[in-house]
Amino acid sequence: MKPVPATAPVRLTLRRPDDWHLHLRDGAILRAVLPLTAAVFGRAIVMPNLRPPVTHTAHARAYRDEIMKALPAGMQFQPLMTAYLTDATDAKDIEHGFHDGVLTAAKLYPANATTHSELGVTDIRKIYPVLERMQAMGMPLLIHGEVTEADVDIFDRENIFIDRILTPLLAAFPALKIVFEHVTTSDAVDFVKAQADDGRLGATITAHHLFLNRSDIFKGGLRPHHYCLPVAKRERHRLALIDAATSGHAAFFLGTDSAPHPVTAKESACGCAGIFTAATALDLYAGIFDAAGALDRLEAFASLNGPRFYGLPANADSIVLERGGSVEPAPVRTEADDTILSFTPPGGRLHWRVAPQASERSPRQPRER
């Protein structure tokens, strides 16, 4: 990142943001990480890849109840639930869940593309009846945009997904709203921009993909806490993501893909994919926007573009960000005594933080240096 300009404002007020791609898990991990998101974000699209996955409306309702039970007293937060699509998804159940207000969207995981996706869709044509029903009722489809064939290089999975799956999908369902989640390449950015005129294709961008390129995974040795899926790409792709996020373009919005894993699961012979950013996500985004000279566009990316795409009102209240000092994210401990490490950008500390007095939702956990 570039040095932070000396003339940058010390305080910045934003409409309260939302997180349009979030992993909360369940049980002890849910109870440990939920307050960190709820302290800053008004709503979040909650991922359904639990074990077992959230494949039906009844499970989504029960999971929502578990989340609300884990929310500390006095905090306000709205989980927006999703259904995990499989080859055997019942279109009627998805429709009932959407019309009953339980489900906000449905999530397409290509089988074996990422964490707990082994029960995902093996051939997208198998769920065409579900997609037809979703298109008719205006229910968004959220996509993990990678192919999984063994002969495709891991760094090419997103590009090939665009050609083989996403382009035909858009043609087959011309009114289906789609979110291309956690885009990682300049090719994906260009594709989303090219489709933007009709407003039915959006894209989320994570904080960690704005900081990491693929070399960061291997600097000085293997860095398991920088490993996620989709994997970080070349530097030119990272720069394209920064340009997209900070451009003010309405098709791009905040989705952390914050994915908590215990340290023991990350630092193992077969480490889990996923980067945990919930504790400091908005601080991370603010640093990127500050370095790009685009703080005036942070509110659109974090607070306005997502609600507009989903047809929801923006949050009514605000938060305040402060710039100054240096912050190192503290580890999160669960009731089971597992430790979850927060993402720290390559090269250092964070210089932005959500002002504690700006939110009565929950204390946060940064360590000042």
What's 248's domain CATH number?
Answer: 3.20.20.140
User: For residue 357, what pLDDT band results from cuts at 50, 70 and 90?
Assistant: low
In a domain, 46, yes or no: yes
In a domain, 156, yes or no: yes
State residue 32's pLDDT score: 98
In a domain, 130, yes or no: yes
Please check the confidence at residue 349 and state whether its pLDDT lies above 80. no
User: 206: how many CB neighbours lie within 10 A of its CB?
Assistant: 30
Please check the confidence at residue 144 and state whether its pLDDT lies above 50. yes
In a domain, 3, yes or no: no
Range of the structural domain that residue 204 is part of: 11-368
Q: Give the count of domains, the chain.
A: 1
State residue 9's pLDDT score: 60
Dist CA 38 CA 192 (whole Å):
29
**Catalytic residue set:** 257
User: For residue 64, what pLDDT band results from cuts at 50, 70 and 90?
Assistant: very high
Q: Note the pLDDT tens digit of each residue in 92-105.
A: 999 999 999 999 99
Q: Please compute the mean of the pLDDT values over residues 210-220 and round it to a whole number.
A: 95
In a domain, 151, yes or no: yes
In a domain, 4, yes or no: no
Dist CA 287 CA 229 (whole Å):
23
Dist CA 287 CA 285 (whole Å):
5
In a domain, 5, yes or no: no
State residue 293's pLDDT score: 96
Mean pLDDT for the chain overall: 93
The CA angle 70-74-75, to the nearest 5 degrees, is 60
Please check the confidence at residue 22 and state whether its pLDDT lies above 70. yes
More confident residue, 291 or 361: 291
Q: What stretches of the chain show up as alpha helix (H) in DSSP?
A: 27-38, 57-70, 91-99, 128-137, 157-161, 167-172, 186-194, 208-211, 235-246, 263-266, 281-291, 298-299, 305-310
In a domain, 270, yes or no: yes
